[in-house]
Structures are given as C-alpha cells and as structure tokens.
Amino acid sequence: MKIEEEVKKLEEQMLKDKDFLWNNPEKGLEEIKTSTYIKNRLIEMGYKDINTNIYKTGIIATLKGKEQGPCILFRSDMDAVIMDDTGRVKHTCGHDAHMTILLSIAKLLIDNQNKIKGTVKLLFEPDEEGNGGADPMIKNGALENPKVDKAFAIHVWSELKEDTIGIKSGSVMASTDPFEIVVSGKGGHAAMPEKCIDSIYIANLIGKNIKEMAKITENPDEKIVLGITSICGGTNNNVIPDKVYLKGICRTFNNNLRNNIKNELQKNVEKIAKEQGGDAKLTFIGNYPATINSKEEAETVKNIVSNIVSNVDENYQTMASEDFSYFLQNVPGCMILVGSQKDSYYPQHNENFTVGINPILIGTQIFYDIAKKYLI
C-alpha cells in the first residue's frame, strides 16, 4: 500500500482514537460517550461549525475553504453491534475504524483549510445497525445548508483481504426488507384435524412458496435472497395451534425488482392462507434500499485507489446492506469497501472480528485523495 507521510504521521493518534472507540461501544441512539468524544476531538482540531442536533446523537462538522467550490460529504457510522439478548454491544462491524478514519481526515482537512476550494461535511451517523440514522438525518437537513454535491463512505470489509479494495459502479450492496408473518387458523385437537384450520400446514406452504420465489439467475442485479429465518407455533404434540409466527428477509441489488418482489410476496402470502381457509398478515418491519454507486464517482475512485493498493476488485458486490444507500438516492457518490481480512478470518458481527491499522491508513488516504480531487 502507498500511504503519504502526511497520513502516516497520524498513526499514533489513530491508534488512540481507535482504542477509545473500541473500548466504549454503544448501541444505536445511545452513543453518548462516542458522540462526546468525537465532538471534543473536533473542537481540539479547531472545528467551529459542529452540529450535534441533527438527529439525536448524530454529528455534522462543516469546514469551509477559502474559495467557492463543491460541497463534499464524508460519512461514518457510530453505533456498535448488539451481540445477544442481554443487550451486550461490541464493535464487531468496524464502525470504530470508520470513526477513526473520519477523525483522521478531519485533521488533514483542517490543516489544509487554506487550500480548500469548497466545503466539507463530516457526518457521524447513529443507529446504522438498528433502524438506520441516514434517512432521519437527511430529513433533518443533513444534505442542505450548504447543499451537498457528492457523498462518500468507506466500509472496512472482512470478505476482502487487506490491501484489496472493492469499488464498482452500480449496485454494490443489497436492499434489505425484514418481514414478519402471522398465520391464523383454527386450533383444536390433533386427533380431529378435520375440525381445524391447520396454521402450521399453511405456514409450511407459505415457506415453500417463498423459497421458490428466490430464483437463481446469472444476472447479479436480478439476484434475490428471500427466505424464512424463524418460525414459532404450537407447544404440544396433540394440539393444532391457532397461530404461527414467521420471520424472514428479502434482499436484492435492484430497487425495481425489490418493489415487485415485496408486492408479489404480500399477494402470495394472503392468497395461500385464504385458499386453506385461514388468514395471514405480512408486515415489513424496516428497510434499506440497494446501495447504488454513481458511475462517474465510482470511476474516479477506481483511479484513486489503484494508486494506493495493489488489488482493486471492480466487480465486487455483497448481499449485505447499508443505509448509506439513502444518501446515494439523493446525491451522486459511492460506497468503498476496504479489505480488512488478515491471516485469521472472522466475518463481520463475529465475536472475534477486529480491524487492524492498515485498513484505517488506507481508508484515510482514500478520503484524503478524494478531497484533493474535488476540493484541493
């Protein structure tokens, strides 16, 4: 990897920031220590325009250059992963590294403020792992005053090795639509099924139909991940239950296909239950659209990263999801995946997942080079 001396000099502070954030993980919308630390670090650097009222614990720091020019937004998420039912949290998705990168670019930019032609917005987003902070921040004016022209984000990525970057135009991360289904029948004695409406049988038919909807295709932009991930119904061997509860997920790279699948799913679930004399109610309980990189900005970043690392994957996609997609629905820009996989592999959200210093150095260099391309 090729890292400038200006970036390398920040390594000691990077480790300090990363250490604090790693050791103080907080769940979405409760990032109090995190938010306070970030604000204090920005003030320490010399930032004056720091908005901490944009959305709960979210922060936007704005830095204006000496001359007019575009407004470029760099974003980091803040929250840790909720690891289990006890509410225990840990930074097993790399958000501690993302914040460290954004604080590092904050330092580089304010040290070069007199060279900036335009405006920089540094956005620290809460609750990405939960209901998502991107959409509320946008609705609360994150992209206005001044109006953002381009937006960029980095995600350290366990599926790519260190010194590898995934950057492509078009769909890079999938949409996500978790859903719940309540199947209602008519319970009764298992010895007299003819007097019942079997909710478990209906649930099985629905599950089979959903699996058949997830067709295999050679076109990745038409790929669908769709399935049942949880089923709960009945407690006894000789009782047919009144209700069965299902949970599932729908993911795709294509937002039009996503909407069609959701509509088809709704119709099929209701139709299958009705045909068996029962009823089924499907509810989508949250959603992120697909993350779609704009072509011009993705091509620009490809050229930038090829001078930093030796391996650039221009076709990499993942069925994982990101609410940075909301920013990209409003302004051009791109999500950049920075490899973090070392000799010992642990996937994101695994108890043993960590990020070393190299992806942080690479991520900072990428943001710095993007800033130099558009602003300096």
**Same-domain status, 367 and 219:** no
Indicate the residue among 284, 303, 328 that finishes a domain: 284
Residues 253 and 296 in one domain: no
Angle between helices 255-275 and 199-213 (to 10 degrees): 150
Provide, rounded to the nearest whole percent, the portion of the chain with pLDDT above 90: 94
Residue ending a domain, choose from 253, 284, 315: 284
pLDDT the model gives residue 26? 98
d(CA 16, CA 9): 13
Q: 42 and 154 in one domain?
A: yes
| pLDDT of res. 116 | 97
Per-residue pLDDT tens digits for 90-108: 999 999 999 999 999 999 9
CATH number at residue 154: 3.40.630.10
Q: Do residues 107 and 232 both lie within one domain? A: no
Tokens describing residue 112: 């070069």
Mean pLDDT of 110-134: 97
Question: pLDDT digit string (tens) for 163-197?
Answer: 999 999 999 999 999 999 999 999 999 999 999 99
Helix, strand, coil percent content, the chain, rounded in steps of 5? 35, 30, 35
- One domain, residues 21 and 152: yes
Enclosing domain of residue 58: 5-172+290-374
Report whether pLDDT(222) > 90. Answer: no
> Is the per-residue pLDDT at 218 higher than 70?
no
Residues 167 and 28 occupy one common structural domain: yes
Q: Are residues 310 and 351 in the same domain?
A: yes
Instruction: Give yes or no: residues 37 and 137 share one domain.
Output: yes
Domain count, the chain: 2
Same domain, 213 and 248: yes
User: In this structure, are 204 and 272 located in the same domain?
Assistant: yes
Query: Residue 53: is its pLDDT beyond 90?
Result: no
pLDDT bin (cut points 50, 70, 90) of residue 217 is: low
Q: Pick from 34, 47, 39, 151: which is nearest to 109 by CA?
A: 47
**Among 259, 284, 309, which residue terminates a domain?**
284
pLDDT band per the 50, 70, 90 thresholds, residue 158: very high
> Using 50, 70 and 90 to split pLDDT, how confident is the model at 223?
confident
67 and 165, same structural domain?
Answer: yes
Same-domain check for residues 264 and 339: no
| Average model confidence (pLDDT) across the chain | 96
Say whether pLDDT at 221 is over 90.
no
Mean pLDDT for 261-289 is: 95
Q: What's at 41, amino acid-wise?
A: R
What's the mean pLDDT in 19-24? 98
- Cα–Cα distances in Å, from 15 out to 18, 20, 359? 5, 9, 12
Strands 243-252 and 170-173, by their bridges, are: unpaired
CATH number at residue 205: 3.30.70.360
